[in-house]
């Protein structure tokens, strides 16, 4: 290793390189010609993250290239030192193996350790190491993708080698339009992804929700950015989504009966609809309304992207959904909005919380209102469904188009004529008219979702009809 004399020694850790602010700090120290020591374990960790498809790895390597460029210009002296860590040390980075090597390097050369890790900062300070802790800073959202968004743009779709496209319009009535003639390059996508990572690490209102092999999900202020790389996707793709409408519950022009049910009685609500129909907008309105009525409201999301008020705590499901059950039972909310109920574990968690007495609002993808109920069939016992769900609100094109209520009865199903065929039946009725529209029951080993027709209703009221038997 070369001799370091009469120069400022800077030792960045992995987080400092990912953060992206160290380059500017070194430029400001150009007159003192800083000597930058980068431990090979930092390079190995960034390489490991990049090979795993994690966006933070690529962001750190980009900053490392800029340091190399500064060294070529004579602004700094850059030196890579130390032994490359073993595979077990890289995998054990979260336990402090690599951080310990970096601190030791700074200590031996009486250098200044630069870090964004609060724990790393505290440990270094306790060991008598000169340390500069880069605190998260609030910055204005100015990364490149914002230039593609117009007031009526809901989502932006960027794919390597394809012209950029955007969904524009209003909920339920979007159209996909090309917003530029030339295709998107990989370099452009990498630049935007790095900007998103840097902003998420600096802003207290933003965060990296998921960062795993080939997939990174970032909540950057109001934008939810999803980056995919091979092997998960065939090419580099970046999708950014933002809400374009924020409504209050009164904006939906609910009937007095429905408004009273949603605000006072209904505590097992499913908000259903196809993608982009406005489900999350309605769920947000319900959450904000109950919070304004002095209720304790929480949300469960993955990723956390509901634009709710500051008084509502947003929980991420994470890798262990069972933790959510324990947390919500401890904090005792009056209502919980469970966004994106889609996996089996989500239905089980939703059911557990509802049976524990917590008012639940679940958001479910469905092409029809009845499909929302069918999503629960097979995941929970059939007879328990009316205890879990009492109201289904179907959203289409930004407005409520259908509302169902569920009731439990023991009866002969519609369309059958023999009284000894009576069985437990879930009745699905129109909320406003109370008209019976579907019946759900078991028939042999099958679960039947039976659409009740006008003549079924006639048979039920007037007695068996000739030649009509199911």
pLDDT of the chain along its 470 residues, tens only? 444 556 789 999 998 888 888 887 887 776 678 899 999 999 988 888 888 777 788 888 988 999 999 999 988 899 999 888 777 766 666 667 788 889 999 999 999 999 988 899 999 999 999 999 988 665 555 667 788 888 889 899 999 999 999 999 876 678 899 999 999 999 889 888 888 887 887 776 778 888 888 888 988 878 889 999 888 899 999 999 988 778 889 889 899 999 999 988 888 999 999 887 889 889 999 999 999 999 999 999 877 778 888 899 988 876 566 788 888 888 989 999 998 888 888 888 899 889 988 999 999 999 999 999 999 998 888 889 999 999 999 998 888 999 999 999 999 998 787 878 899 999 999 999 999 999 999 988 889 999 997 556 544 444 443 333 33
Domain boundaries, the chain: 9-133, 144-241, 249-462
Which CATH code, of 3.40.190.90, 3.40.50.12160, 3.30.70.890, 3.40.50.300, is assigned to 249-462?
3.40.50.300
Tokens representing 79?
């030196």
Kindly report whether the peptide bond that precedes residue 303 is cis, defined as omega within 30 degrees of 0: yes
- Rounded distance, CA 10 to CA 113, Å? 6
Could you give the angle at the alpha carbon of 399 between the alpha carbons of 393 and 404, nearest 5°? 20
Asked if residues 192 and 200 have their Cβ atoms less than 8 Å apart, the reply is: no
Look at the domain 144-241 and name its fold.
Beta-Lactamase (3.30.450)
Same fold? 144-241, 249-462: no
- Rounded distance, CA 255 to CA 251, Å? 12
- Helix axis angle, 40-51 relative to 55-73, nearest 10°? 140
Residues 6+ apart with CB under 8 A from 252: 282, 285, 399, 400
- Rounded distance, CA 371 to CA 362, Å? 14
Residues 6+ apart with CB under 8 A from 168: 150, 152, 153, 154, 174, 175, 177
Chain Cα centroid distance, residue 289: 22
Question: Which phi and psi angles does 463 have, rounded to 5°?
Answer: 105, 175
Task: Write the CA distances from 466 to 238, 422, 469, integer angstroms.
Answer: 61, 20, 8
pTM tops 0.85: no
Helix segments in 127-251, DSSP class H: 186-202
Look at the domain 9-133 and name its fold.
Rossmann fold (3.40.50)
């Amino acid at each position: 290793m070369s001799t370091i004399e009469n120069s400022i020694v800077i030792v960045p850790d992995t987080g400092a390189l990912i953060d992206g602010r160290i380059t500017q700090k070194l430029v400001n120290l150009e007159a003192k010609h800083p000597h930058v020591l980068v431990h090979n374990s930092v390079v190995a960790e960034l390489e490991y993250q990049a090979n795993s498809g994690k966006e933070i790895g690529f962001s750190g390597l980009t900053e490392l290239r800029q340091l190399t460029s500064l060294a070529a210009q004579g602004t700094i002296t850059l030196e890579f030192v130390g032994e490359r860590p073993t595979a077990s040390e890289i995998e054990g980075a979260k336990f402090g193996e690599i951080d310990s090597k970096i601190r030791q390097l700074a200590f031996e050369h009486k250098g200044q350790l630069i870090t964004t890790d609060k724990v790393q900062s505290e440990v270094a300070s306790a060991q008598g190491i000169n340390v500069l802790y880069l605190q998260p800073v609030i910055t204005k959202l100015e990364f490149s993708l914002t230039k593609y968004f117009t007031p009526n743009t809901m989502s932006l779709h960027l794919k390597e080698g394809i012209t950029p496209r955007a969904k524009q319009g209003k909920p339920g009535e979007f159209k996909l339009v090309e917003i530029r003639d030339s295709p998107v390059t990989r370099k452009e996508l990498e630049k935007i992804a790095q900007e998103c990572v840097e902003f998420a690490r600096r802003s207290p209102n933003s965060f990296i929700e998921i960062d795993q092999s080939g997939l990174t999900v970032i909540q950057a202020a109001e934008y939810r950015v999803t980056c995919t790389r091979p092997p998960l996707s065939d090419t580099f793709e970046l999708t950014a989504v933002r809400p374009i409408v924020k409504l209050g519950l009164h904006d939906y022009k609910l009937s007095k009966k429905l408004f009273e049910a949603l605000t006072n009685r209904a505590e097992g609500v499913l908000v259903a609809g196809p993608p982009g129909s406005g489900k999350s907008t309605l769920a947000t309105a319900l959450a904000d309304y109950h919070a304004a009525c002095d209720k304790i409201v929480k949300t469960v999301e993955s990723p956390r992207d509901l634009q709710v008020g500051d008084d509502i705590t947003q929980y991420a499901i994470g890798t262990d959904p069972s933790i959510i059950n324990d947390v919500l039972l401890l904090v005792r909310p009056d209502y919980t909005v469970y966004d994106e109920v889609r996996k089996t574990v989500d239905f089980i968690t939703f059911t557990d919380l509802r049976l524990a007495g917590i008012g639940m609002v679940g958001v479910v993808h469905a092409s029809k209102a009845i499909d929302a109920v069918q999503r629960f069939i097979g995941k929970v016992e059939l007879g328990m469904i009316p205890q879990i769900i009492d109201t289904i609100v179907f959203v289409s094109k930004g407005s409520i188009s259908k509302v169902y209520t569920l009731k439990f009865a023991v009866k002969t199903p519609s369309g059958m004529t023999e009284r000894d065929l009576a069985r437990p039946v879930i009745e699905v009725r129109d909320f406003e008219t109370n008209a019976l529209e579907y019946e759900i029951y078991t028939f042999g080993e099958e679960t039947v979702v039976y659409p009740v027709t006008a003549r079924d209703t006639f048979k039920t009221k007037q007695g068996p009809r000739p030649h009509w038997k199911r």
